[in-house]
Chains A and B, each alone.
Chain A
Amino acid sequence: MSGRHEELLAYLDKSGAELFTLLTRLTLRQDVAEELMQDLFIKLSRSSGPNHKAGTWDAYARKAAINLAFDWRRGRKHAPLQQLEQVPEPVSNDNSPLGGLIHSEELQETLDAIGRLKKASREALIRRYIQQESYEHIAEQMGTTSHRVRAICSRAVNHLRVALGSNHRQST
């Protein structure tokens, strides 16, 4: 086995669960997250971009995971509707069916709005508010300062407020 393969397996053992959680949160579907997880590691195995440093692997993998998830979300809008029995149960922490439906709709709407942000804003927002990473860690992996990451996150939240506010007004 090559060194790259071993590194990938080691990275899978170390960060695979986090990446799968990230994909699940961004797709709200475990089955899709499983597929995207495979796509992600195939992409990592074929890419020659990141060097062998662990931090660079991690940053590249997380960015690729976010892009894969939102590519899937965009492609899903154009895909034909599935049969009702083929639609899996969405992920939800609420036990009430109505509450789960409402929460799922809100989360889908929020994720769609996040998908319309710029890539840097989207990545910073997701890593800060969904993955709960520290500003310093995000800044280190994005190659910028924590102060700038804070500014990016603040602007991203404002954009979300505007986008979700207009959606909210249209729905009411």
Chain B
Amino acid sequence: MSEIDENQIHDRLKRLSQIEPAQDATSRAMQQVRDTLTKQQEEHPRVAASKPTALGMAERDKAIPKLRLRLPPGAIKLAAAAVVLIAAGFVAGRLSGPSPMDVEELRAELEASLKSSLEPTIRRSVLDEADRRWQSVFAAGCAQLKEELAQQVRRDLTQFAAQSLVASGTQTQQQLRELIQLIEAARIQDRRNVEAALEHIESQFGNGLMTLAARTNELQGPE
């Protein structure tokens, strides 16, 4: 905050102190006051004169200084300060102290407090219970479903295996039968070929073999 120089303040105050009213104005003002006081005194002489006696002001004027003399200086200020402090303390105590109990208000506050404190807990427990039940139901359903699925798979595999075995056996028998027929046919064919060869050999080399056998026997005989 800006301030002006202290000398300027003193200068202004000095200028104020140098103001002097005109002498005639001063005289006029004092004369007017004197006239007013005199007129006022003339208009109400009886009141002014009788007032102290009637009201006992002379007695009171004597009594008041005595009373004031008994009190130490500043006692009234101290008493006033004490009264103000006591009043302030009383007001502060009333403001800061507990107010009278109101049952309805207390019930409403308690209800609101309980509601605010219990509602989340209850909601959470209900949700947890629902989750737990759903999980147990889901787990049971899941196990049953798994069991059924396994049984179904097992049944299907068994049936498929049986069908495969049947089909495989039939096909194998068919193939074995065909193989047997082929082998039989091949053997018959070989036998015919051997028979034909033998017949050819017999026809071509029958005499020579007999001769060879005779000579062989002859050679081996002397030994």
Q: Are B29 and A2 in contact (CB under 8 A)?
A: no
Say which size band chain A's interface belongs to: 35 or more
Q: Are A2 and B49 in contact (CB under 8 A)?
A: yes
Q: Are B19 and A131 in contact (CB under 8 A)?
A: no
B218 sits at the interface (CB 8 A): no
Q: For chain A, residues 43 to 93, give those with C-beta under 8 angstroms from any C-beta of chain B.
A: 45, 48, 51, 91, 93
| A2 cross-chain contacts in B, Cβ below 8 A | 41, 48-49
Q: Are B21 and A16 in contact (CB under 8 A)?
A: no
Interface of B: prevailing SS: helix
Closest residue of chain B to A129 (Cβ to Cβ) is B13
Report B77 CB to chain A, min CB distance, Å.
10
Contact of B61 among A5, A8, A51, A131 (CB under 8 A): A51
Report B24 CB to chain A, min CB distance, Å.
10
A164 sits at the interface (CB 8 A): yes
Interface of A: prevailing SS: helix
Which stretch (A19-27, A116-124, A134-142) binds chain B? A19-27
| A25 cross-chain contacts in B, Cβ below 8 A | 16-17, 19
Q: Known: A93-B15, A168-B2. Contact between A30 and B41, CB under 8 A? A: no
Q: Are A93 and B19 in contact (CB under 8 A)?
A: yes
Q: A20-B29, A37-B32, A131-B17 are in contact. List 13 more A-B contacts (CB 8 A).
A: A5-B48, A12-B33, A16-B29, A24-B19, A24-B20, A33-B21, A37-B30, A93-B18, A129-B10, A143-B73, A161-B4, A164-B9, A168-B4
Q: Chain A residues in contact with chain B, CB under 8 A?
A: 1-2, 4-5, 8-9, 12-13, 16-17, 20-21, 24-25, 28, 30, 33-34, 37-38, 41-42, 45, 48, 51, 91, 93, 103, 106-107, 110-111, 125, 129-132, 143, 157, 160-162, 164-166, 168-169
A-B contact pairs, 24 of them (CB 8 A): A2-B48, A4-B48, A12-B33, A17-B30, A20-B29, A20-B30, A24-B25, A25-B16, A28-B19, A33-B21, A34-B32, A37-B33, A38-B33, A41-B33, A41-B36, A42-B36, A107-B15, A107-B16, A110-B12, A111-B16, A129-B14, A130-B16, A164-B4, A169-B2
Q: Chain B residues in contact with chain A, CB under 8 A?
A: 1-6, 8-10, 12-22, 25-26, 28-30, 32-34, 36-37, 40-41, 48-49, 57, 61, 64-65, 73
